[in-house]
A and B are shown apart, each in its own frame.
Chain A
């Protein structure tokens, strides 16, 4: 075989290629496809082109389309393609373009040679041949591209062209009629193989090779479901059953009723006619109906339990409640109301009486209701009244308050009347009690008023008495002051003359005379002491003993005291010592009063001490800025129970007429008063037989009060 000469490629425009590709895809038969290809090549490159392929009869190949070839040339080529031993025929199983010399084909000579290109699916024997007669040098490069595009297309179209005529063709009109049926209709063989499907059925159960994967899957599922349902039916008779399918486009679940009818085809084999009816909506409707029925039942149940609960609630209310219709007829009543208006009939006399009372109550209620119903004013929606019913069981009167309210409908029309009774027995009792409480309270108030008035009167009396007492007290003080003066004047003479006699002014006296005079003298002095002390207390009480505050030192004061007491100390034969703290600060106080107190305490100590000693000590307490002058004795001591008493006026521990110790019993009382004037106090520590310690505490600087 001669080797092809190198030819320069010739290329078509890209736009022309695109146009050809679109044209090819739109072809529905191998012939149309071949024609488009041949015309395009001839127009683009001005060459002679032919396409050989299977003819309509299915036996011999024909020239499907050609340009620039004579009929003889077409015949030669077709025969050469079919001839088993020809060069051309060998291309059926050998892919790729071949160049044949100008004289290779008898009767079909081309000046530039002949380019043969097998057409078909890659890897499969070629079904057609593209032949290009070359007139000069230069091979169109697009031949290979056209062959690769059109080859598989022609192969497929040629195959389907060959299959179609083998199917038994139903009558055209019948077919249109069936197609027009809105339900899917199918014809299947006994095994379920699909023989025919109308448009609706195809939409559900047939997918073309170029269908989307989603649709292919849906159709596959539908076919399986359909076959399974079909297999359930018997071979004879009409069967109805439901088959669930999927809408291949929308993906929704659909429900179909399948009616199958076996039919004997005219040519023998048994086939089955299936009609599907879409009952999806029906199924949904049935489902919705079931749902609403269920809901209705639930609502009814709920309403019943609601009603039951309402009954229970109403029954549990202690107050009787009655619901009446607009004409006054009884609709319902709770248990307490039943006991009042419809007592149970137990038989016997008591039950009859109860029934009679119940009827009487009912009659009262009816007349009460008629008041409300007879009221022409529409705006009166409530009616309150007081009824006295009889207790059906006992016949006791029951004061009741009835409150009736109109029950209005949505449009404001009267639908009923609800009446609630309230037992007023307790309320009346409360009102009665309240009234009684008010009475008692006003009585009490009157009593309080009179008591207050009395009290005020007594207060006034007391006030007057207080004034009188004050006046009397002042008068007493004045009287005592005068008295003491009047006492003193004769006492002065008594003491003076006694003193003179004892001094021997009137000559020497016998010892008995002197002894008696001494007794007069000492008793006179005692009387003077008593008078002086009474005067002191009187002055203190009358507020006529002012403070004389001066600066002074305690050592000098105590020295003075010791000096004044020296005669008594000497007589007592007691050891008396003074202990002074070093560096006692100066005092700002009433010197005379401090001295008087210390004198008094010391003279008491000497009087009540028979053996041992007396110690006078003074110290300053920095923390409290106070002085403490203590007089400590080893005397008889004082029982705790008497320690307070001795500070009172005219009190001694022993105040019996036969007491062992003299004295007015005013000394400590005065001491305490004087100490208080200085802002201080007198304290006592003692126990019987252990001696006593009296201490005067007073501030370093006294304040005028």
Chain B
């Protein structure tokens, strides 16, 4: 029912099983001028991604049902969602996670705790990069 101005706003899919964090990012993204969809596990993330085809996906890696790595692999393995940038989020700052994330097809990697403004900065960077790629 919403039209073009709303349509102009990029859609960000926030995937996090921890409700407070998910809603916090969602609220700040909306405050910062984004549309937000939410998912609380990997499977839900896949469903929402195929359904909504968001502009950017924020993916927490430790998730129930299906973890973020697996979900990202599937997204990147599907033609419908392959082009969507995925920003990996993790509280495990341990070495190796970023590499696993890159292997899984993540486009960026952010360590929690990540303040909302820093995360929004990262999302804006992704959108900009995608727009540049499409313009080319």
Contacts and interface: CB of A to CB of B under 8 A. Distances in A.
Interface of A: 481, 485, 488-493, 495-497, 499-500, 503, 505, 528, 532, 535, 539, 544-546
Given A493-B18, A493-B20, A528-B113, A488 B95 contact: no
Contacts of B112: 488-489, 492
B52 interface: no
A485 to B, nearest CB: 5
Nearest to A531: B113
A489 B92 CA distance: 10
B28 A492 contact: no
B41 to A, nearest CB: 16
26 contacts: A485-B92, A488-B91, A488-B113, A489-B18, A489-B21, A489-B112, A491-B113, A492-B91, A492-B114, A493-B20, A493-B21, A496-B25, A496-B113, A496-B115, A497-B24, A499-B117, A500-B27, A500-B28, A500-B31, A500-B116, A503-B117, A505-B28, A505-B31, A532-B93, A539-B95, A544-B94
Interface in B10-32: 18, 20-21, 24-25, 27-28, 31
A592 B112 CA distance: 18
Interface in B37-52: none
Nearest to A504: B31
A505 B23 CA distance: 13
A505 B95 CA distance: 34
Contacts of A491: 113
Nearest to B90: A485
Contact of A535 (B18, B24, B27, B93): B93
Given A493-B21, A500-B24, A500-B28, A485 B91 contact: yes
Contacts of A485: 91-92
Contact of B116 (A481, A499, A528): A499
B95 A495 contact: no
Contacts of B114: 492, 496
B17 to A, nearest CB: 10
A538 to B, nearest CB: 10
A496 B116 contact: yes
Contacts of B21: 489, 492-493, 496
Contact of B94 (A481, A497, A499): A481
A539 B92 CA distance: 12
Given A489-B18, A496-B115, A539-B95, 17 more contacts: A488-B112, A489-B91, A492-B21, A492-B112, A492-B113, A493-B20, A495-B113, A496-B21, A496-B24, A499-B116, A499-B117, A500-B28, A500-B31, A505-B27, A535-B93, A544-B95, A546-B95
B122 to A, nearest CB: 14
A491 B18 CA distance: 12
Given A489-B21, A492-B21, A500-B27, A539 B94 contact: yes
A490 B18 CA distance: 9
Nearest to A535: B93
A546 B96 CA distance: 10
Nearest to A548: B95
Interface string B102-114: 0000000000111
A669 B109 CA distance: 29
B73 to A, nearest CB: 23
Contacts of A532: 93
Contacts of A499: 115-117
B108 to A, nearest CB: 17
Nearest to B111: A488
A544 B31 CA distance: 39
Interface in B112-135: 112-117
Most chain A CB within 10 A, of B20, B24, B95, B113, is at: B113
Contacts of A490: 20
A487 to B, nearest CB: 9
B24 A493 contact: yes
A481 B114 CA distance: 18
B61 to A, nearest CB: 11
Closest 8 CB pairs of A and B: A492-B113, A493-B20, A488-B91, A496-B24, A505-B31, A499-B115, A492-B112, A485-B91
A349 to B, nearest CB: 107
A636 B20 CA distance: 43
B15 to A, nearest CB: 15
A532 B111 CA distance: 12
A270 B29 CA distance: 190
A489 B115 CA distance: 12
A275 to B, nearest CB: 149
A122 B1 CA distance: 202
B102 to A, nearest CB: 14
A495 B28 CA distance: 13
Contacts of B94: 481, 539, 544
A490 B112 CA distance: 10
A547 to B, nearest CB: 10
Interface in B74-109: 91-95
Most chain A CB within 10 A, of B25, B91, B114, is at: B91
A477 to B, nearest CB: 11
Contacts of A488: 91, 112-113
A96 B24 CA distance: 190
B136 to A, nearest CB: 30
A596 to B, nearest CB: 13
A489 B31 CA distance: 22
A481 B92 CA distance: 8
A539 B95 CA distance: 9
Interface string B42-74: 000000000000000000000000000000000
Nearest to B22: A493
B31 to A, nearest CB: 5
A545 B91 CA distance: 17
Nearest to B60: A489
A545 B114 CA distance: 22
A418 B33 CA distance: 133
A489 B27 CA distance: 17
Nearest to A539: B94
Most chain A CB within 10 A, of B18, B116, B117, is at: B116
A505 to B, nearest CB: 5
A641 B7 CA distance: 68
B32 to A, nearest CB: 9
A646 to B, nearest CB: 26
Nearest to A521: B115
A497 B113 CA distance: 12
Nearest to B28: A500
Contacts of A496: 21, 24-25, 28, 113-116
B27 to A, nearest CB: 7
A538 B132 CA distance: 43
Nearest to B114: A492
A545 B95 contact: yes
Most chain B CB within 10 A, of A485, A489, A497, A544, is at: A489
A228 B127 CA distance: 169
Nearest to A497: B24
Nearest to A525: B113
A532 B114 CA distance: 13
A254 B56 CA distance: 159
